[in-house]
Structure 1
Amino acid sequence: MDVMTTTASLTALAPAPVWARRAAHAIALCALPSGLWRVAMASGVYVGYSDQVLRDVFDIPGWGVAYVIGLSVLAEVAALFPLLLVSDRWRPLAPRTLAAASWTASAVLVLLALWQLVVAFTVESRTYMESGTAQTVWWFVFAPLFAIPALMTAVTWSYARRHRTRARA
C-alpha cells in the first residue's frame, strides 16, 4: 500500500447510512407542500383567503408576491442543505465546519418549528380563511414542516458521528 492510497482512505468520509440519506431527502420533500401552497397563493389560486384579505393583509398583488415566492425558494434551498451532509460528491466546507454549521442549523430548525407551532395556534392568519376545508388543507401542507427538526437532527448526528469516526482513525 503506497502513501497516496493511505492518505486517500484517511481523508474519505464513510458513506452515509441509507436511513440518513432517506431522511435528508425527506427534509426536502417536507418543505415542498407549503412552498407550493405559497406559490399558489402568490399566483392568485384560491387557497382560502378572499381577494380583499390577499390585498389588505398579504399585499398580493404587490410586494407580497415577491415576499411569498422568496420565502418559498429560501425554505426549499434550506431544506436541500442536509443533502450536503449525506453526499459523497461535493463538500463546499471543511468537514468540521460543515458539522458545526449543521448543528447550528438543527438548533435553528428546532426553534423555528416551535415558533411555527406558536404561530399556528395564535396568529390571526388562520382566522382570515373563509372555510374549514381551506384550514384543513392549510394544516396538511404545513404539517410536514414539523418533521424537519427531528430529521435534520438525525442527519446531523449521523454526519458528526461519521466525521468523529474518521478523525479517530
Structure 2
Amino acid sequence: MYVMTTAAAPTPATAPAPVWARRAAHAMALCALPSGLWRIAMASGIHVGYSDRILREVFDIPGWGIAYVVGLSVLAEAAALLPLLLVTDRWQPLRPRALAGLAWTASGLLVLVALWQLVVAFTVESQTYMSSDTALTVWWFAFAPLFAIPALMTAVTWSYAKRHRGSRR
C-alpha cells in the first residue's frame, strides 16, 4: 500500500540585501540624527537661533513644547530605523509582500512630506523666526540631510521588492 503525503514546498531563500542597500538603510538613521539633536538642544534651552519670546509664544518652550519637540525627535529617529527591516531577514513582522507594500507607501509619503517641507522652509514666516543668518545656516545644515531620506527609502524599498518578488510565506 502506498501512502501519498504532500510535503510543504520549501520557501525559496531570498538573496541577502546588497551592500549598498544596507548602507542606505543605515544612512537613513544617520540622516535623521542632526535634526533630532538640534530639536533636543532647542528643548534643553540651548540657543539654537530662536529668541526666548519665539520659543515661549510659538513653540511653548518651556512647557508642553518640550515634550512635543523631544517626542518628535524620538519618533523621527525610530521611523528612520524601520528601513533596517528591509535589509535584514532576522525579524520580519509582516509577510514580504505586505512589508513591500507598506514600504512603497512610506516612500511615496516621504516624497510628499519632503516637498511640503521645502514649501514650509521657504515661506517668509518660517524664516523670520530665526534671529540671524548664522542660525538659519545651522538650521539648514541640521535639516538638509532629511531630504536624502525619500530617495534612500525608495532605493531600499526597490531592492527589497526586487529580492522578494514572488516570495510567499
The aligned runs of 1:81-96 (5 Å cut-off) are: 81-96=82-97
- Point out where structure 1 has 5 or more consecutive residues left out of the alignment: none
Contact 1:53–1:128 (8 Å) recurs in 2? yes
Give the TM-score normalised by structure 2.
0.91
Q: Which has the larger radius of gyration?
A: 2
Shift of the alpha carbon at 1:165?
5.9
Shift of the alpha carbon at 1:88?
2.1
Q: Distance in 2 between matches of 1:123 and 1:149?
A: 25
Helix, strand or coil: the match of 1:164? coil
Q: Distance in 2 between matches of 1:29 and 1:139?
A: 16
1:159 to 1:64, Cα distance in 2 relative to 1, 3 A? same
> 1:7 is matched with which residue: 2, 5, 10?
10
Q: Aligned residues, how many?
A: 162
The one-character-per-residue Cα deviations of 1:9-55 (angstroms, maximum 9, x if unpaired) are x1x32100000000000111001100110000001000001111100
Query: RMSD of the TM alignment (CA)?
Result: 1.5
The one-character-per-residue Cα deviations of 1:57-107 (angstroms, maximum 9, x if unpaired) are 110000111111111111111111110000121111111110000000000
Q: Distance in 1 between matches of 2:45 and 2:138?
A: 16
Q: Distance in 2 between matches of 1:123 and 1:156?
A: 35
Q: Give the fraction of aligned pairs with identical amino acids, expressed as a percent.
A: 77
- Identify the residue that residue 4 of structure 2 maps to in structure 1: none
- Point out where structure 2 has 5 or more consecutive residues left out of the alignment: 1-6
Q: Distance in 2 between matches of 1:30 and 1:138?
A: 14
- Identify the residue that residue 59 of structure 1 maps to in structure 2: 60
Task: Give the stretch that moved more between structures: 119-128 or 94-103.
Answer: 119-128
Runs of 4+ in 1 over 3 A off after TM superposition: none
Contact 1:25–1:83 (8 Å) recurs in 2? yes
Q: Tell me which protein shows more helix as a share of its residues.
A: 1
Q: Distance in 2 between matches of 1:156 and 1:21?
A: 11
